[in-house]
Chains A and B, each alone.
Chain A
Amino acid sequence: MKLFRNVFGRSEPPAANLDNLFALPSAAITLEVATGFTATGVASVCYRQAEGGAFETAQRDVQDLLDADGGPKVERTTDDFGYTWLVCRADPSDLSSLVNDVHAVNSALENAGFGPSLLCSLVSFADQAGRRFALVYLYKQGTFYPFAPDGTKQRDNALELQMKGVLEAEMPIEPDLSRWMAVFEAPGL
């Protein structure tokens, strides 16, 4: 069916898969037990801002919604590629509320018809030794991959592959390594 649509030149941007994101809290427990990495309480959502007033409205609404709970304010930044990042913060021990915040952003954009604009979400982790990495959730694939920056332009591939091994049983990990894109510019990492 997808092939048929494509051959007739009607490919549409795929809808985002929002559900697999909820695999995060239980995977985080496994991660802590196996490797000592814990969540830092920072998560971010990355999306492509569409032109026009409708997107502006949807974006403002979701920011107001998240700021209404009295917790830390949501930060909005734009990276060098023109993608927008919304950074949510919560108590590091309460990963589920962080995931709920991220989900609120996702569903608000989806309801406004901008689900296809979602690129990825990041939840960052750190261990006692100060090493950091993020679990990146790809909306279109519905899979996760670990991203461990090592300096500004290098990746710690060994750590990434180690995390892949630990988490494989807990959550869908992106099997195609070429899709583990680098997101050095992600805020809150």
Chain B
Amino acid sequence: MASTRFRSDAGLTARMSLVMLLLGGLYVSVFAALAVFTNLSGPFLLFLAAAFGIGQWYFSDKLAMKAMRAKEVSAAEAPELHGMIDRLCAMADMPKPRVAIADMDVPNAFATGRSPQHSVVCVTTGILRRLDRDELEGVLSHELSHVAHRDVMVMTIAGFLGVAAGLVMRWGFYFGGGRGRNSAVPFIVIWVGSMVVYFISFLLTRVLSRYRELSADRSGAYLTGKPSALASALTKISGDMARIPTRDLREAQAFNAFMFAPALNRESVGALFSTHPPLEQRLEQLASISSDLSRPTN
């Protein structure tokens, strides 16, 4: 009978669900606090943050393409890249995203867009030059998994509270500071509260982001059936990342969450704040998928 070699990682799913649950709990408690100590500025700020979040999600493909100075390419301009993505999409049974190339030396790739129907997969010329066919395919399948998992939507929702709390921290004085006598709680409590909310939600979204990278690695490796090619792409790129001048990197920072490999030196950021899991962890997961695939039948 039909059998499958795909094994979902129950532990990873459980940890990811827990993080989502914690974030959800944070949302509920913040909304509850707002309902209890309500004044005019609370709902207004949330509305502002929501509008910001929705805009960022809805236009994510255009924003990211602009920021990376990426150019959409047709099938005639980049036949190999298109052919590769055609085949991967046919294997994964998903709509084909648009394809773009960014002319920069940072070896990276990202996928973004509000839904699988409106997404774009972008690779840099740097990655095209450094990777061979199988490695590039591994990277593309990782990016296509991000599209299938709707990571832009999930991460926008996850990050929304952080944006709202950040707004209170920065501009809270203008919204709530002037009416100290009327509001139910002193402004300083709101300010400190939003700082705490900001910090917790920041940590949780980073944890979530790392788990989603592992998921994308996993699904991508099963799609191509070549986890080792993805592993070799990761090693190649991570080695290169450390040698890249910092100026380019700062420009790319805003999009780190959707990138294939983060454009930061890992030494410079604590593992706790990283959007991507450490290389060793990613390689370890790919090695275990590889041994699953070569397990003899029955």
Give A contacts to B, CB under 8 Å.
6-15, 48-55, 57-58, 80-83, 110-117, 119-120, 138, 140-141, 153, 176, 178-179, 181-182
* Nearest CB in chain B: distance from A151 CB, A: 14
State A132–B92 Cα separation when bound (angstroms): 29
* Nearest CB in chain A: distance from B139 CB, A: 14
Query: Contact between A49 and B211 (Cβ–Cβ < 8 Å)?
Result: no
Query: Contact between A6 and B150 (Cβ–Cβ < 8 Å)?
Result: yes
State A53–B95 Cα separation when bound (angstroms): 32
Counting CB contacts under 8 A, is B61 at the interface?
Answer: no
State A82–B137 Cα separation when bound (angstroms): 10
* Nearest CB in chain A: distance from B193 CB, A: 29
Query: Contact between B219 and A50 (Cβ–Cβ < 8 Å)?
Result: no
State A54–B5 Cα separation when bound (angstroms): 11
Query: Contact between B149 and A116 (Cβ–Cβ < 8 Å)?
Result: no
* Of the residues A113, A116, A178, contact of B91 by C-beta under 8 Å: A116
Counting CB contacts under 8 A, is B17 at the interface?
Answer: yes
Query: Contact between A181 and B90 (Cβ–Cβ < 8 Å)?
Result: yes
* Nearest CB in chain B: distance from A120 CB, A: 7
Q: Which among B2, B5, B12 has the highest number of chain A CB atoms within 10 Å?
A: B5
User: B7's closest neighbor in chain A, by CB?
Assistant: A12
Query: Contact between A7 and B91 (Cβ–Cβ < 8 Å)?
Result: no
User: B153's closest neighbor in chain A, by CB?
Assistant: A7
The interface residues of chain A lying within 8 Å CB-to-CB of B154 are 7
* Of the residues B2, B92, B149, B293, contact of A140 by C-beta under 8 Å: B92
* Nearest CB in chain B: distance from A52 CB, A: 3
Q: Contacts A9-B16, A81-B84, A82-B134 known; A14 to B297 CB distance under 8 Å?
A: no
Cβ contacts B220-247/A at 8 Å (1 or 0 each): 0011111111000000000000000000
Query: Contact between B294 and A51 (Cβ–Cβ < 8 Å)?
Result: yes
State A83–B88 Cα separation when bound (angstroms): 11
The interface residues of chain A lying within 8 Å CB-to-CB of B129 are none
Query: Contact between A116 and B87 (Cβ–Cβ < 8 Å)?
Result: no
Query: Contact between B290 and A52 (Cβ–Cβ < 8 Å)?
Result: yes
* Of the residues A6, A8, A57, A119, contact of B87 by C-beta under 8 Å: A119
* Nearest CB in chain B: distance from A83 CB, A: 7
Counting CB contacts under 8 A, is B26 at the interface?
Answer: no
Q: Contacts A13-B222, A113-B3 known; A8 to B216 CB distance under 8 Å?
A: no
Q: List 25 A-B contacts (CB under 8 A).
A: A6-B150, A7-B149, A9-B212, A10-B13, A11-B145, A11-B149, A13-B6, A13-B219, A14-B92, A48-B91, A50-B226, A50-B293, A51-B226, A51-B293, A52-B290, A53-B296, A81-B133, A83-B87, A111-B2, A113-B3, A116-B4, A116-B91, A140-B92, A181-B83, A182-B83
* Of the residues B87, B211, B212, B290, contact of A51 by C-beta under 8 Å: B290
The interface residues of chain A lying within 8 Å CB-to-CB of B114 are none
The interface residues of chain B lying within 8 Å CB-to-CB of A82 are 133-134, 137
Query: Contact between B149 and A13 (Cβ–Cβ < 8 Å)?
Result: no
The interface residues of chain B lying within 8 Å CB-to-CB of A52 are 290-291, 293-295
Q: Contacts A9-B219, A12-B8, A116-B222 known; A57 to B86 CB distance under 8 Å?
A: no
State A179–B87 Cα separation when bound (angstroms): 9
Query: Contact between A55 and B225 (Cβ–Cβ < 8 Å)?
Result: yes
